[in-house]
Amino acid sequence: MEDINEKQKEVAETKVCPFCRKEISIEATKCPYCQSTLITDKNAKLILMSSLGLFLISFGAFIFFISIFSAVFGINVTQYVWWLIIPFALGFIWKKQKMGQQKKIESSPSLKKIPLLIWALILLVAPIVIVGVIFLGIVIMAPAPSNRNSAPVINTPAQQKGIQVTAIQLATDYEANEIAADTKYKDQIVEVTGTIKDISKDILGAPYIILSGDPNSITDVQCTFDKSKQNQLIPLTKDTKITLLGKVSRKLLNVRVDECSIIQ
Ligand SMILES: [Zn+2]
């Protein structure tokens, strides 16, 4: 009788570690044999909070990394960062679910412990890979006129006469019929005259000027310059008239004119 009572008492005071199957104290929150963190009602909240903390730290580190990346390569990718919260959130949800699973099937030996360090690495590496893919996508899809040296002719604008057109006319033609406008202008050298609406840099760091199109439409003319010609844009001011020589590439939101140089 005494033996049975003692045995029952012993059973109630121990449990089996779901990771290494060793018998441990019922109140243990960490397995003394395999160092696994065990989820009990007592520490579940703590584990969740530490996961959340890890998630926030990783995300902060990631934002930091992206900022450095942007600064070093002169590419503004920060505008794409915010939706990358998705993989982080998915990782967090997964972690939470895994915890639920462990609780449900405490006795399952198939669950393996993922150390926090590995977790931090996963949280950091996955978004970096995603950013890399996005970055590659941007580089491949962009017309990338900035690095081409294939336009020496345009560097001597006096010798080259393009199609003379106003920015308003160019924008209006594209607005009216993109196919007709492409036939007329695409890949052609144009001498486009217009009023400067904006002077800025695109996501690849290429400087550009926006020439106002028809004030009644949203289409403007975006004239992109090689990075080496950036200095030409310094003395320019908005709302002044300018004539540029460049090659019409395509219409996205604006009509794009690439490989531009300033005539006057
Ligand atoms: Zn264990």
237 in a structural domain = yes
Q: Is residue 62 part of a domain?
A: yes
CATH number for the domain that contains residue 225: 2.40.50.140
Q: What confidence tens digit (pLDDT) does each residue in 132-188 have?
A: 777 777 666 655 444 444 444 444 444 567 889 999 999 999 999 989 999 999 999
Whether residue 46 is contained in a domain is answered as: yes
What's phi and psi for 250, nearest 5 deg?
Answer: -170, 170
The tokens describing 60, both together, are: 């902060």
Kindly list the averaged pLDDT for each block of 10 residues, start to end, along the chain of length 264. Answer: 54 81 87 84 74 80 75 64 72 74 52 61 75 71 50 49 90 92 92 93 86 89 90 90 91 87 86
What's the CA-to-centroid distance between 90 and ligand 1, angstroms? 27
Cα 39 to ligand 1 centroid, rounded to whole Å? 12
163 with 252, same domain: the answer is yes
Q: Is 20 contained in some domain?
A: no
Please indicate, yes or no, whether residues 132 and 176 belong to a single structural domain of this protein.
no
Could you tell me if residue 221 is inside a domain?
A: yes
Q: Does any domain span residue 132?
A: yes
- Give the distance (Å) from ligand 1 centre to CA of residue 29: 10
Question: How many other C-beta atoms lie within 10 A of the C-beta of residue 167?
Answer: 32
Q: Are residues 213 and 251 in the same domain?
A: yes
Question: Does residue 27 lie within any of the structural domains?
Answer: no
Residues 157, 258 within the same domain: yes
Residue 206's pLDDT is what?
86
Q: Single out the residue in 111, 141, 171 at which a domain terminates.
A: 141
pLDDT in tens, 223-240: 999 988 888 888 999 999
Question: Do the interacting molecules here have an ipTM over 0.90?
Answer: yes
Q: Is residue 202 part of a domain?
A: yes
Q: Give me the DSSP letters along 108-134.
A: -TT-----HHHHHHHHHHHHHHHHHHH
Q: Which residues contact 108 (CB under 8 A, 6 or more apart)?
A: 18
User: Which of 106, 141, 176 is a domain's end point?
Assistant: 141
Final residue in a domain of this structure, among 141, 169, 184: 141
CA of 37 to the centre of ligand 1 (A): 8
Distance between CA atoms of residues 30 and 113, nearest Å: 12
* Judgement on whether residues 128 and 157 belong to the same structural domain of the protein: no
Q: Please, which residues have CB less than 5 A from ligand 1, an ion? A: 17, 19-20, 31, 33-34, 36
Rounded to the nearest whole angstrom, what is the distance from the C-alpha of residue 23 to the centroid of ligand 1?
Answer: 8
Q: Give 30 Cα–ligand 1 centroid separation in angstroms.
A: 8
**Number of domain units in the chain:** 2
Same domain as 172, residue 102: no
Q: Which domain holds residue 47?
A: 39-141
d(CA 218, ligand 1 centre) in Å: 65
